[in-house]
Amino acid sequence: MSSPELRKVPVSLPRTFDRPDEPWHRYVNVDLVWYVLGYTLFHPWVACIVVLCLRAQYTPWGAPEMRIAIAWAILMCAVGIFNIFSERIAYGVPREVDLSEEVIVITGGVDGLGGLLAETYGMRNANVAVLDTKKIDDEEAEEKGVLYYQCDVSDAKQVEAAVAEIVEDLGPPTILVSNAGVVRPKSILDSTAEDVEQTFRTNTLSHFTLLRAILPHMLRERRGTIVTVSSVLGRLGAANLASYCASKAALLALHDSLRAELAQNPDAQDIKTVLVTPGQMGTKMFAGLKTPSNFLAPVVSPAELAKSIMGLIERGESGEVSLPLYARYAGILGLLPVGVQALVRRWSGVDTAIEEGGLIVKTTTEKN
């Protein structure tokens, strides 16, 4: 009996010789240090193991090093238990997720972060539908295992029609990843009303439209996960990105309002929410921008972000994904004295990065 023929999948592997060699220290950053500490010094199990190791060496209970180790182990265990209860109070019990029974809708899923999520779930034989303005031919879609619907999410009628097709083709959506976004790097004075309106239609109003179209299906199914992709710039703001920052800031309030409304609906007990506030990602949207410090503010890869998002989705949990590390604590900046805030912004280069990267689009006007 002959073995079944293997399916050929086209793969384009990265060629290392196309990229310049980086010194080893370029790969060391605060996120890596924090990750290592989280699994060593700050891990409750490791802290307890240290106590056992000291005792195995017959260290007296009253010895200073033993007392310090015991105190540290108790502190780490207390912090770990507190975090577990805190997340349970905030987000409730995780829901059960079986990808074969889920219908995943991803906006802006042709390339970038959305494209990576769509292709990864497609390879895992999940039911994936992508809404994007870009057209994908049927052969490529079949290879990726993803259904693509050409749709402008800023148009409410197109979204409603696309969702109706998805329900007919795949079934009621149970996972929504609102990822579509545009950026128009202009100063406030150079921004036209059309620029600002289109940015808000794509980055903000589309989320309302998608929720109105998909949330009723989740409520009928009594399960679901809603992923809102915002940005750390929604908390910070930045020069020459006013419309983008404002549209992303609106998503932060939308996410909180959505959670509050779901908490009041008995049918939404198993509808989870995930807020994503990334820093600078290694995508085409902000290509060419340089961070002030590769150690303190590294560029986050879409793969790393996608891994964290998929982890929450598949564990059936609510939560927040903020990468790199500074994105998680960006809100603290507003608690600092205004002088310190000004110094931090000046050092970070958040207000000069767009201009220095040559990304500003200027509108020329003629005066009579």
- In the chain the first and final C-alpha atoms are separated, in Å, by 85
CB 363 within 8 A of CB 190: yes
> Which pLDDT score is estimated for 237?
92
CA distance 1 to 180: 49
Q: Strand, coil or helix: what is 128? A: strand
CA dihedral 316, 319, 321, 325 (to 10 degrees): -130
Domain 99-355 grouped into CATH 3.30.379.10: no
CB 119 within 8 A of CB 218: no
Model confidence over 267-323: pLDDT tens digits?
Answer: 999 999 999 999 988 877 777 677 777 888 888 889 999 999 999 999 999 999 999
Model confidence over 148-203: pLDDT tens digits?
Answer: 999 999 999 999 999 999 999 999 999 999 999 999 999 999 999 999 999 999 99
With bands split at pLDDT 50, 70 and 90, how would you rate the model's confidence at 17? Answer: very low
Model confidence over 28-76: pLDDT tens digits?
Answer: 899 999 999 999 999 999 999 999 999 999 999 999 999 999 999 999 9
CB 356 within 8 A of CB 290: yes
324: cis peptide before it, omega within 30°? yes
CB 223 within 8 A of CB 271: yes
> Which pLDDT score is estimated for 362?
67
